[in-house]
Structure 1
Amino acid sequence: MTRVKLRQKPISNGQESHYLDIYPPIAHPITGELKRKYFLHLHTYLNPKNNVEKLHNIETLKLVEYRKAERLIDIQNKNYDFLIKKRISDFTEFFQAEANKRPDSYNWQMAVRYFQNFCGKNLPFIELDYPTCEQFRNFLLSNPSIGRYERKISLNTASSYFDKFRNTIKSAFNNKYILTDFSTMLKGIKLEETHRCFLFLHELQSMADAKCESQLVKKAGLFSALTGFRFSDIKNLVWGDIQGSKGSFYIIYKQSKTGNAEYYPISDKTLEILGLPKDNNEKVFEGIKYDDVIKFLKPWLKNAGINKYFTFHGFRHTFATLQLASGTSIYTISKLLGHRNLKTTEIYTKIIDSVTREASLKIKLDFS
């Protein structure tokens, strides 16, 4: 029979820490390591000096006894999950922590926001199960967009958010926060083929000529259209990444999305957009935020006389499309975009085929 005794250990500041002495020791559910001491993380004063400290001791000792009773029931039922300290953590907080590792990823932050909207509260790891994961998948497929937009999120956006959720589940499992890897059981949301927004050359020129309330956003947009850089890479770009001399400048950087190191040649004309260079450690686009892009892009398009759906990522699509239209090989474009799979780049050939067909249909002769 397992015996459990309440013991104390003196700590700093004239206090003592309460723990359970379990004998014979019990095995940790994950590691198998035998555990005899289980600290309750509750402290009392050895010699209370005033009424506040005395009251603290009284209330804390009540909680100590309550926690001891809880653990006794667990031990009697051979439920040793309480030894997995991380299991008492909150999954929503963990999800946010995973997103914070990618501070430049708007999609990661939004994935967390959608999960918070789905939960309506914090979700302890102990309550995370397969049905909850499936319910979140259905939520993404059916729920209207949150925030400033009223339209539903697209299927591809839902797929992106759910992939990040599954990645977080796998990370939680790998780090022993949960005992079951639900990510292996969850079916991803299938992507649908979409129309990639891009600008024709004359439209891009109109954007360059038009007024934008944020020069930083304008500079970033044009730079993306001329290089194919993602917003996350633009945000992280520092002056020290730009090397070389006139006629042979290049950028050496690590892609935020893939983590791959890239070498990117850049023209003198493109470099002029960035202005005068500063210290190597300073950001080229210091202070740029995606919220500012959302705020200023639409008015900028309007000033340029462009009336169509377009996002900042469309500048990257514009780069690829214009390069392909000008005769640059698909292999070169793939390398410039940092794609790991040529099939990803080949999507742009469909855009060119569509544009070419549309242009050819405009040529008509009257034979009457």
Structure 2
Amino acid sequence: MQQGKDIISKYHTYLRLEKSLSPNTLDAYMTDLDKLLRFVASENRPILEITYQDLQQFVAQLRDIGIHPRSQARIISGIKSFYRFLLLDGYTDKDPTELLETPKIGFKLPEVLTENEINKILDSIDLSLPEGQRNRAMLEVLYSCGLRVSELTGLRYMDVYFDEGFVRVEGKGGKQRLVPISETAIREIKNYLYDRNLVAVKKGHEDILFLSRRGTGLSRIMVFHIIKQQAEMAGIHKNVSPHTFRHSFATHLLEGGANLRAIQEMLGHDNITTTEIYTHINREFLRKEILEHHPRNKKR
């Protein structure tokens, strides 16, 4: 334990003096390294015994919780720097990061679920379980409103305007917006409230809509695990995350003829160019439809 602290302290000195990093860059390196250290602690493994397979698992977790590929690449670069230091100072004679690949950064269409796949996931939820109705209501809101996972976990009971059919969402930078909510989602929330009233709510979480069984708000990672589990149970083999529901929401709106500006407002995008990614999805969808259904493309 003490050895690990000494190594980190020496690495900090190495970055500051030998690499002459600026204070901000130095902080960024140490913050990214801390992510690896917390992973190492959770695995109960000494830092010097970490293997390439361990690092692959760490990177997979970064991807699974929605860390952007550009941020993943930066974190991996910092970890490679740390292991180069360990080699230089003789702490190890092996570099487990040698074969570690950084994610490709470039334009990539987000994974999208069909409406049928969304329904399959929702229908796979076991409503006889204590958390069943909560999960169904939660995923219905996620899809019906196109929320970010942080917006979903922060949603309060007072943010749902049942009669008006809107939810008030606090997005990035504390910016608030009103998003229409479907009648289906409202019905699922009302059904969930019966179960919610049976939970012993912890102080400070009284107004949070979606609660854990411990009476606290759900974490983003918990929502991710719930979605992964339900997608597997539904037999969906795509890489599904909370953001997949948001992408699907926007894509289905566009396919249904919604105005791009309206989608921008509902998603809480500051810049229309962020929303325009969904026009690429729509073109791809149309191309697929033509290839599958146009008489000139049908096999004779």
Q: Tell me the TM-score normalized by structure 1.
A: 0.50
Structure whose residues are more often helix by fraction? 2
The alignment status of 1:209 with 2:123, answered yes or no, reads yes
> Which of residues 239, 246, 261 in structure 2 aligns to 1:309?
239
Aligned alpha-carbon RMSD (Å): 4.1
Residue 154 (structure 2) pairs with residue 236 (structure 1): yes
Decide whether the 8 Å contact of 2:165 with 2:180 is kept in 1.
yes
Tell me the matched-pair count: 222
Q: Which amino acid is 2:211 matched to? A: E
Greater gyration radius:
1
**Partner of 1:265 in structure 2?**
180
In structure 2, do the counterparts of structure 1 residues 158 and 282 end up closer, same or farther at CA, with 3 Å as the change threshold? Answer: same
Identity value in percent: 20
Q: State the match for 1:254 in structure 2.
A: 170
Separation of aligned partners in 1, 2:299 and 2:170 = 58
Asked if 1:159 is matched to 2:48, the reply is no
CA contact (8 A) 2:122 2:139 kept: no
1:196 pairs, out of 91, 110, 126, with: 110
- Secondary structure class of the residue paired with 2:8: coil
For 1:359, which of 285, 289, 292 is the aligned residue? Answer: 289
Answer 1 or 2: which has greater strand percent.
1
Q: Is the 8 A contact 2:166 2:181 kept in 1?
A: yes
Structure 1 equivalent of residue 99 of structure 2: none
Residues 333-365 of structure 1: CA distance to partner in whole angstroms, max 9, x if unpaired?
000001100000000110111111112101245
For 2:159 and 2:206, the matched residues in 1 are separated by: 9
Unaligned stretches of 5+ in structure 1? 1-116, 165-188
Helix, strand or coil at the partner of 1:262: strand
**CA-CA distance at 1:281 after TM superposition:** 4.7
* Bigger shift: residues 325-334 or 281-290: 281-290
Does residue 284 (structure 1) correspond to residue 214 (structure 2)? The answer is no
Counterpart residue type for residue 223 of structure 1: V
| Structure 1 position 294, deviation (Å) | 3.8
CA distance in structure 2 between the partners assigned to 1:237 and 1:266 by the alignment: 13
Partner Cα distance (1:291, 1:193) in 2: 25
Contact 1:198 1:317 in 2 (8 A): yes
CA distance in 1, matches of 2:283, 2:22: 44
2:259 aligned residue (317, 324, 329)? 329
One-letter amino acid matched to 1:351: I
- Structure 2 Cα separation of the partners of residues 190 and 151 of structure 1: 14
Q: Residues 163 and 260 (structure 1 numbering): CA distance in 2 closer, same or farther, change over 3 Å?
A: farther
Within 5 Å, which residues of 2 pair with 1:148-187? 148-149=57-58, 157-160=68-71
Shift in Å at residue 311 of structure 1? 1.2
